[in-house]
Amino acid sequence: QVQLEESGGGSVQSGGSLRLSCAASGYSRSRMGWFRQGPGKEREGVAAIASSGSTGYANSVNGRFTISQDNFKNTLYLQMNSLKPEDTAMYYCAADSSPSGSYFPSLEPSRYPYWGQGTQVTVSS
């Protein structure tokens, strides 16, 4: 059974940093991604990484966030720097096992069948 468990969320002031982690187990993954959902907003893709190492970022976080993975530890990370109040959201880790995910990251939530429970990030001004 696929299990994804996020950690590392918290409260930080504007301009601060956080690192999210997602421990994955129980499946043969292809691509993984980080998504977020703010109050009253739809879930949106933040960053994604294919098993090949190719990455993709939302324009709103490009240059501030970095996605990475430790294949030995089966852990996905999201380093978030220069955080802004508009980054406040519940952050979710998601995983896909389709063959196309080996080479192509995707920020589209519908491409990911497996989801974690989320970790809250709150950025105050």
Across 97-113, average pLDDT: 90
Distance between CA atoms of residues 96 and 110, nearest Å = 10
Distance between CA atoms of residues 90 and 93, nearest Å = 10
- Buried/exposed 46-78: b ≥16 CB within 10 Å, e otherwise: bbbbbbeeebbbbeebeeebebebeeeeebbbb
Across 40-54, average pLDDT: 95
pLDDT tens profile 52-93: 999 999 999 999 999 999 988 889 999 999 999 999 999 999
Q: What pLDDT, on a 0 to 100 scale, did the predictor assign at position 78?
A: 98
Contacts 24+ apart (CB under 8 A), 65-70: 65/34, 67/33, 67/34, 69/32
Q: What pLDDT, on a 0 to 100 scale, did the predictor assign at position 72?
A: 84
